[in-house]
Chains A and B, each alone.
Chain A
């Protein structure tokens, strides 16, 4: 019954991600203390916060790479905190991009991109290859389809990783510090792909220290610290006119 209520709520305001009172402990360590968060369709949310504030953990709870200790997470109307939900089905719809790319090292770029769609029968082998070619063009790597990850630069790896996630045709994309492991000259090419994705209306949750990206692309910026959401608002409000002392303090260090 509760489920139905959530579902209605979802269809009313096209809410893609609905988090209420999320808590996450690692043993005795409380990492997320009480997080509530809604993300609507097409919205780009940037998470800011100091190291250890729980940004990655929050992101990883959304697709259940970490199981929540308590609270509810509704993705597209599916309660992923409910044991009976087929989490694999929900994950097909949530792409994730990692700081360290996590490309499958033993497979070519093309194989990286077609493995999941073909195996999960989202597409036939032929369709999956076509989609992969199109996506590689989109991220500017159409000539790399037969390369192995070890033959790519960091920026190229991350663009392939984004394309691989997109190959599943997800509704939602999660990014965990996608540019933090890159040499400075490669950051731009990855951010450019992400900007284009945002412009095309993808729902995105992005953990990043790129304040410039947040100002330009985000619809909403959230500042986290110590397992709580301290402050949130438009990029204007949060980055240019923060109110909370902790936000001001953090921004003064990264700007």
Chain B
């Protein structure tokens, strides 16, 4: 175990960094995607409702690994086929897109549920004062929804972090992928996967502790 850490330590931490980078990027994009489709599902516009529901159902209905293959291999092939022969997506780009789309669908549901958990009277009170719908959403409903959403968002964050390991299949050098390389070189599977497991675990446990702390602070003002 010591020898693996000596030889591959730097590589492992670089890989952990890449894992975190992809998680963070995906989470930021997923927030935006989730906001858009989640809000579409909250209002009563039939067209928006349809688009929102369609997106959520479609993405949740496809395994992440299939979505990753589709975006990494399928989409560039399609775009090259219509004449853009130089089009490429590297593993980070494709992986981030796949993960953002996937996480975005779950985020949309979290945001929808959070907003719907706020009493309808809050919006009505805002509207009755003459405030437009968007303003009521932004200043009255969403701030109250965020409090109930925080635990689910943190949970989703952790799931997304773990899901990066699935993207080892398209060759992005994140932690799990690097693990495969190390095992291939050393044939020391037990130690390698134990080390990698602990690395994931330390990050995730730290994150959830930090999250609990944030949650307590936010709820204190109530």
Chain A residues, Cβ within 8 Å of B124: 65, 98, 102
Check: A77 CB closer than 8 A to any chain B CB. no
Q: Is the CB of A102 within 8 A of B130?
A: no
Chain A residues, Cβ within 8 Å of B132: 88
> B122, B130, B144 — which one has the most chain A CB atoms within 10 A of its CB?
B130
Check: B135 CB closer than 8 A to any chain A CB. yes
Which residues of A are interface residues toward B (Cβ below 8 A)? 63, 65, 88-96, 98, 100, 102-106, 115-116, 119-120, 148, 150, 161, 164-165, 168
Chain A residues, Cβ within 8 Å of B121: 98, 100, 102
Residue of B nearest to A93 (CB): B130
CB-CB nearest 9 A-B residue pairs: A92-B130, A102-B125, A116-B129, A102-B121, A96-B128, A91-B130, A88-B130, A106-B144, A106-B143
Segment 135-153 of B: residues with Cβ below 8 Å from A: 135, 139-140, 143-144, 147
Interface size class of B (residues with CB under 8 A): 20 to 34
Shortest beta-carbon distance from A131 to chain B in Å = 14
Q: Is the CB of A120 within 8 A of B131?
A: yes
How far is A104 from B135 in the complex, measured between Cα atoms in Å? 13
Q: Is the CB of B129 within 8 A of A104?
A: no
Shortest beta-carbon distance from A206 to chain B in Å = 15
How far is A63 from B124 in the complex, measured between Cα atoms in Å? 11
Check: B76 CB closer than 8 A to any chain A CB. no
Q: A98-B121, A100-B121, A102-B119 are in contact. Are A165 and B129 (CB under 8 A)?
A: yes
How far is A94 from B130 in the complex, measured between Cα atoms in Å? 9
Which residues of B are interface residues toward A (Cβ below 8 A)? 119, 121-122, 124-132, 135, 139-140, 143-144, 147, 221-222
Residue of B nearest to A122 (CB): B130
Chain A residues, Cβ within 8 Å of B131: 88, 115-116, 119-120
Q: Is the CB of B143 within 8 A of A65?
A: no
Shortest beta-carbon distance from A29 to chain B in Å = 18
Q: Is the CB of A119 within 8 A of B135?
A: yes
The answer, among A94, A104, A106, A119, for a CB contact under 8 Å with B125, is A104
Chain B residues, Cβ within 8 Å of A161: 125
A-B contact pairs, 14 of them (CB 8 A): A91-B130, A93-B130, A94-B128, A95-B129, A98-B121, A100-B119, A100-B121, A102-B119, A105-B222, A106-B140, A115-B129, A120-B129, A148-B222, A150-B222
Shortest beta-carbon distance from B220 to chain A in Å = 11
Chain B residues, Cβ within 8 Å of A164: 129
Q: Is the CB of B130 within 8 A of A116?
A: yes
Q: Is the CB of B144 within 8 A of A89?
A: no
Q: Is the CB of B128 within 8 A of A120?
A: no
Residue of A nearest to B135 (CB): A119
Residue of B nearest to A105 (CB): B144
Q: Is the CB of A92 within 8 A of B129?
A: yes
Given contacts A93-B130, A106-B143, 14 further A-B contacts (CB under 8 A): A65-B128, A90-B130, A91-B130, A92-B129, A95-B129, A102-B125, A104-B122, A104-B126, A106-B147, A116-B126, A120-B129, A161-B125, A164-B129, A168-B129
